[in-house]
Amino acid sequence: MVTKSDATVTRVMRAAIYIRVSTDMQAEEGFSIEGQRARLTSFAESQDWAIYDFYIDDGYSAKDLNRPSMKRMLADMEDKRFDVILVYKLDRLTRSVADLHALLKTFDLYGVKFKSSTEIFETTTAMGRFFITLVGAMAEWERGTISERVRFGVEQMVAEGRRPGGVLPYGYTQDGELVPEEAAYIREIRDLYMSGLGYKSVAMTMNRAGKLRRASEWTDATVAYTLENPYYAGIIRIGSKTPAGNYVNSKRDQRVKCVYGKGSHEAIFTQGEYNELKAFMERKSSGGYSRISTYWFSGVLRCGRCGAAMFGRLTTKRTTSNGDVRTQYYICSNRHHSKSCDLPTFRQVHVEHLVLEYIKQLQVDMDKIKEEAMRLSKDESKKKIEIDKQKRELAKIMERREKWQYMFVEGLISREDIRKKIAEEDKKEQEIQQLIVASQKSLSGIPRLTELAGLADAWPYLDDQEKKDLVYTLFSQIVINTNLKEVKGVKNKFFDAFVQDITFN
Task: Please say if the pLDDT value at position 410 is more than 80.
Answer: no
Task: Sketch the domain layout of the chain as residue ranges.
Answer: 10-146, 166-289, 293-505
pLDDT (0 to 100) of residue 165: 54
- Distance from the first to the final alpha carbon of the chain: 93
Check if CATH label 3.90.1750.20 holds for domain 166-289.
yes
Per-residue pLDDT band for 161 (boundaries 50, 70, 90) equals low
Which positions are annotated as active-site residues? 22
pTM: 0.40
Answer positive or negative: Cα dihedral of 33, 24, 174, 192. positive
The pLDDT assigned to 181 comes to 92
pLDDT tens digit string along 194-212? 887 888 888 888 998 889 9
Query: Which DSSP state fits 456?
Result: H
Our CA angle for 88, 92, 97, nearest 5°, is 125
Alpha-helical segments (H) within 329-454: 333-338, 348-363, 366-409, 415-444, 449-452
Whether domain 10-146 has CATH 3.40.50.1390: the reply is yes
Reported as a single tens digit per residue, the pLDDT across 278-331 is: 888 877 765 544 444 578 888 889 999 998 888 888 887 777 666 667 788 899
Rounded Cα distance, 401 and 71, in Å:
47
**Residue 15 phi, psi (nearest 5):** -110, 135
